[in-house]
Chains A and B, each alone.
Chain A
Amino acid sequence: MSAATEIAAAVRAGRRTARDVLEEHLARIDARESEVHAFNLVLADEARVAADAVDAAVAAGADPGPLAGVPIALKDNLCTRGVPTTCSSRILAGWRPPYDATVVLRVVAAGGVVVGKTNLDEFAMGSSTENSAFGPTRNPRDVSRVPGGSSGGSAAAVAAGFAPLALGSDTGGSIRQPAALCGTVGVKPTYGAVSRYGLVAFASSLDQIGPFAGSVADAALLLDVIAGPDPLDSTSSPRVPAALGPVLGAGVAGLRVGLIDELVDAEGVEPEVRDAVGRAAAALEAAGATVERVSVPSVVYGISAYYLIAPAEASSNLARYDGVRYGLRVDGDDVATMNARTRDAGFGPEVKRRIMLGTYALSAGYYDAYYGKAQRVRTLITRDFARAYERFDALLSPTSPTVAFPLGAKADDPLAMYLSDVCTIPTNLAGHAAASVPFGTGRDGLPVGVQVLVDAEQEPTMFRVMQVLEEQAS
């Protein structure tokens, strides 16, 4: 099941060629991509060159690295030098970045083979990948349903077997929620654990890059490659994170796990999802952990606070799309008219909604009532988590309140879509780590994800819990 780990081992040992691995995955893309639409761009030729280089290194007696020959898909908000990076927005259509994201360089340096750029909700704003200027991605488990979002293309690519690994970004749940809906593993690392250099910014105090994988071990493999300090990102943590490989298999005996009352009982959580979390808790107990209920009261304000803070930061970050330095320009007689026409033509409805919301929340007379209050709520949530982590090593909740929903079901109701993130948002506000692990199925046989939450920099504990859940789910 640990496809990436096995591929890398086989390629490093010369038992399999990277080219052979790649062709197998390109054939799967050929067969199903037209119905799934996971990618904005498939880089078949570039990937063949990269795979051949890995094989040449092995033939020359060199070690290509821990991702040797492993195909990997990149969310299309990660900059790739000379390769179009669109954020699924018309405003960046055709843009070729003049630099690579740090995570891209690290993946390539580790022998990874980039197969393509995956679809997303425009500028990572959404929970269904329907807000893409290039059309929606569909859930490989049931193509009448959404894959979740915003990293829906990356989740779908892994679920469809197009690549054993993918990278996404998570601002309020954009890795974990699509991982849950597509039945893959998805990890939002601690804020600062992974460099954001070259990740197109949405909400800079919340954004974090993380892995999608078919297994917990594969997610650990990729996170070990991308994590660590980066002088190009002043918000990356200066501490070198603990390697995850060595903790795999350590089990959960003696760990204290808390079941978050407010998220298990949140409005809109489907009974099958709640049951899955209950079964996950029982599985951890059976494996030697203790499990108790815990209240983290202020998480109920998470959605409200997030939908003031994230749009506020976005309205500032997206000011750079002004028709001057890159991307689309719609002409006007003066520069302000050019800016405004470019932005109206280039941004889709959800991006405009968030820019407007954020600009309003930051505007004179409303700053204290909305943005200022939301920042104080952020403190409350962090304090409540700190209290919970005095008693518990890890916390448990649903990832998404529901299984994958049909395309169009929430497209006309922004607030209903925002509520998809109720369980994932608190982690981003606190800057902690959390992950989604598939745990059984819910309505219509669709995958359910269970969320494992830990304090900042406690990824080793999180991966121990994730791995036991993975074992017990099958």
Chain B
Amino acid sequence: MTDGTTPITGPIRHPISRADVEHVARLARLALTDAEVERLTADLAAVLAHAADVAALDLDGVPPTAHPLPLRNVLRDDEVRPTLDRAEVLAAAPVAEDGRFRVPRILDPS
């Protein structure tokens, strides 16, 4: 998997390994250097070790909080309103063409 292309199937091993970091980097779309992988393996292990206090708590029956406000389906009237200016938005793009964002190919031609 060090070539960054082999899919991972089994569960991530613990404690966090270099291979775990490389796997997570692929999920996060980060082309890390070897030195970065090494540093992050140590850093993530330290933070996760600190989080062991939370991971060890017995919290069955305590509901999770995803958000501080009890908001549900905040709706507004469905009316036509001005949106961002298309030319202004495209002017900020690294590459634009024919009124659209241009990107490298997504699908393998073969």
Contact = CB atoms under 8 A, between A and B. Distances in A.
B47 A325 contact: no
Contacts of A376: 57, 59, 62-65
Interface in A338-389: 338-341, 343-344, 347, 349, 352-353, 355-357, 359-360, 363-366, 369-370, 372-380, 382
Contacts of A328: 94
Interface in A397-421: 414-415, 418
Interface in A87-108: 95-99
B43 A353 contact: yes
B62 A344 contact: no
Interface centre among B20, B54, B74, B93 (most CB of A within 10 A): B54
A315 B105 CA distance: 25
Given A363-B24, A370-B51, A357 B44 contact: yes
A336 B29 contact: yes
A125 B103 CA distance: 29
Contacts of B74: 234-235
B101 A375 contact: no
Contacts of B25: 356
Interface in B53-102: 53-55, 57, 59, 62-69, 71, 74, 76, 84-85, 88-89, 91-95, 101
Nearest to A323: B94
A379 B63 contact: yes
A409 to B, nearest CB: 17
A134 interface: no
Contact of A340 (B11, B29, B39, B62): B29
B29 A301 contact: no
Contacts, number: 177
A357 B39 CA distance: 13
B19 interface: no
A36 B15 CA distance: 42
A191 interface: yes
B5 to A, nearest CB: 10
A334 B64 CA distance: 39
Interface string B1-36: 000000000011000100011001111111111001
A98 B54 contact: no
Contact of A231 (B29, B65, B76): B76
A99 B76 CA distance: 20
Contact of A307 (B21, B50, B62, B68): B50
B103 A338 contact: yes
B104 A356 contact: no
Interface centre among B46, B51, B53 (most CB of A within 10 A): B51
B13 to A, nearest CB: 10
Nearest to B53: A304
B95 to A, nearest CB: 7
B44 A356 contact: yes
A205 interface: yes
Contacts of B108: 334
Interface in A149-191: 191
Contacts of A97: 92
Nearest to A315: B28
Contacts of B31: 337, 340-341, 343-344
A46 interface: no
A259 B36 CA distance: 43
Nearest to A328: B94
A267 to B, nearest CB: 12
B50 A373 contact: no
B29 A360 contact: no
Interface in A237-257: 237
B57 A378 contact: no
A333 interface: yes
A333 B25 CA distance: 19
A355 B92 CA distance: 24
A331 interface: yes
A214 interface: no
B21 A356 contact: yes
Interface of B: 11-12, 16, 20-21, 24-33, 36, 39-40, 43-44, 46-48, 50-51, 53-55, 57, 59, 62-69, 71, 74, 76, 84-85, 88-89, 91-95, 101, 103-106, 108
Given A325-B101, A334-B105, 11 more contacts: A98-B84, A304-B51, A315-B28, A335-B104, A336-B29, A338-B104, A344-B30, A352-B30, A365-B11, A376-B64, A415-B50
